[in-house]
């Protein structure tokens, strides 16, 4: 009689776990539904392109945050960092390309050094990255005291490229999600990197360096941050020291919305990309309806709270079965 009872319970737990994993896709569908009802024309090639125009920079910033969260850390400086990259692109990359490339490479190396320092000295990442946010913002202001600059022609051309049949933001976001998933979730190198947050004790037992792993994760975050800043510059065609400050909280929200957790190295690249697209769609559609930016932020927060509540409910129900 026991096996008969155990099987339905196991199946119920499996169904709840699968539903929990599907929450990012369900939240995206929940945002798409009212858009379809209120504005069916938005589902054209042109409409989707407008709604998701700024999705790619946020997707890349979200993956930067995901790399840090994978290590059980949190980056409170990704927004100012993306803004700094945009300012470097709008000034140095245009006027002195080699100096601009060197500056961006230096940012990646500095991020890697910060990751190593955080692990070696056991400094809370929140404290370090909070301080860095002021450093990045100060450097951005020095480079570009007032909004301006210009996007390099090649960058504007790349971000303005129109793909056939399917809107470019969907194509770019899908490609980024697939490549990120293969890199971090499927490759042997990705497994070792995720071990820095998921099971650091086992990593030490196997002789893998936690310092090196964290340095690589922070460097990966910086690389995604550089790509985010450049893509944002290519879309905006000019820069500002405060251009992407909101990306810090939005990237955290997108990772959590996509199924990520702050401990244990539990993240989902595809879920995070879906979370970023969901937040972009919600903000874009409310902007089209002339809704105040304050209400747009509130709507994004409401989406996150609802999804987290559902996740907690499913986890609690699963544990009581």
Residue 182 within a domain: yes
**Is 273 part of a structural domain of the chain?**
no
Q: How confident is the model over 191-215, as pLDDT tens digits?
A: 888 877 767 777 777 777 888 889 9
Residue 84 lies in domain:
41-248
In a domain, residue 294? The reply is no
* Within a domain: 34: no
Per residue in 119-154, pLDDT (tens digit) is 898 888 999 999 999 999 999 999 999 999 999 999
Q: What percent of the chain has pLDDT over 90?
A: 47
Is the predicted pLDDT of residue 2 greater than 50, yes or no? no
pLDDT band of residue 31 (cuts 50, 70, 90) is confident
**Confidence (pLDDT) at 5:** 46
Looking at the domain assignment, is residue 271 inside a domain? no
Tokens encoding 265? 């190295």
Averaged pLDDT of the chain: 85
Specify the higher pLDDT residue, 26 or 66: 66
Weakest mean pLDDT among 21-30, 134-143, 162-171: 21-30
pTM for the whole thing? 0.89
| pLDDT confidence bin for 302, thresholds 50/70/90 | confident
**Sequence-separated (6 or more) residues with CB below 8 Å from residue 135:** 77
Q: Residue 21 corresponds to which tokens in the numbers above?
A: 């994993």
> Would you say residue 179 has pLDDT above 90?
yes
pLDDT score of 112: 95
What pLDDT sits at residue 8? Answer: 60
| Burial per residue of 14-35, b for 16 or more beta-carbon CB atoms within 10 angstroms, e otherwise | eebeeebeebbeebbeebbeeb
Q: Within a domain: residue 216?
A: yes
Q: With 60 as the cut, is the pLDDT of residue 90 above it?
A: yes
pLDDT digits (tens, 9 = 90+) for 231-277: 999 999 999 999 999 999 899 989 988 888 877 678 889 999 999 99
Residue at 316 is within a domain: no
Alpha carbon distance 276, 55 (integer Å): 7
Q: Is the pLDDT of residue 41 over 90?
A: no
pLDDT in the model for residue 140: 96
The answer to whether residue 23 sits within a structural domain is no
Domain count, the chain: 1
């Amino acid at each position: 009689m026991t096996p008969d009872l155990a099987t339905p319970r196991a199946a119920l737990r499996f169904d709840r776990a699968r539903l929990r994993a599907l929450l990012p896709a369900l939240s995206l569908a929940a945002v798409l539904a009212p858009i379809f009802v209120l504005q069916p024309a938005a589902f054209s090639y042109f409409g989707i392109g407008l709604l998701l125009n700024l999705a790619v920079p946020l997707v890349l910033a979200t993956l930067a945050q995901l790399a840090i969260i994978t290590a059980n850390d949190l980056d409170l400086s990704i927004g100012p960092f993306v803004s700094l990259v945009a300012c470097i692109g709008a000034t140095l990359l245009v006027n002195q390309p080699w100096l601009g490339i060197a500056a961006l490479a230096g940012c990646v190396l500095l991020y890697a050094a910060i990751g190593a320092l955080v692990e070696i000295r056991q400094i809370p990442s929140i404290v370090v990255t909070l301080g860095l946010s002021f450093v990045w913002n100060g450097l951005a202001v020095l480079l570009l005291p007032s909004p301006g600059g210009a996007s390099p022609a090649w960058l504007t051309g790349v971000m303005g490229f129109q793909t056939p049949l399917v809107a470019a933001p969907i194509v770019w976001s899908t490609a980024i999600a697939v490549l990120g998933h293969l890199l971090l979730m499927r490759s042997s190198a990705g497994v070792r990197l995720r071990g820095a947050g998921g099971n650091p004790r086992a990593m030490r037992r196997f002789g893998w360096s936690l310092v090196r792993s964290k340095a690589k994760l922070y460097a990966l975050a910086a690389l995604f941050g550089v790509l985010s800043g450049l893509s944002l510059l290519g879309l905006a065609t000019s820069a500002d020291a405060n251009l992407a400050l909101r990306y810090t909280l939005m990237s955290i929200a997108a990772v959590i919305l996509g199924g990520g957790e702050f401990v244990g190295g539990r993240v989902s690249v595809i879920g995070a990309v879906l979370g970023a697209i969901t937040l972009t769609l919600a903000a874009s559609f409310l902007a089209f309806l002339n809704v105040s930016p304050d209400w747009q932020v509130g709507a994004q927060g409401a989406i996150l709270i609802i999804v987290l509540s559902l996740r907690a409910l499913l986890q609690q129900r699963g544990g009581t079965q």
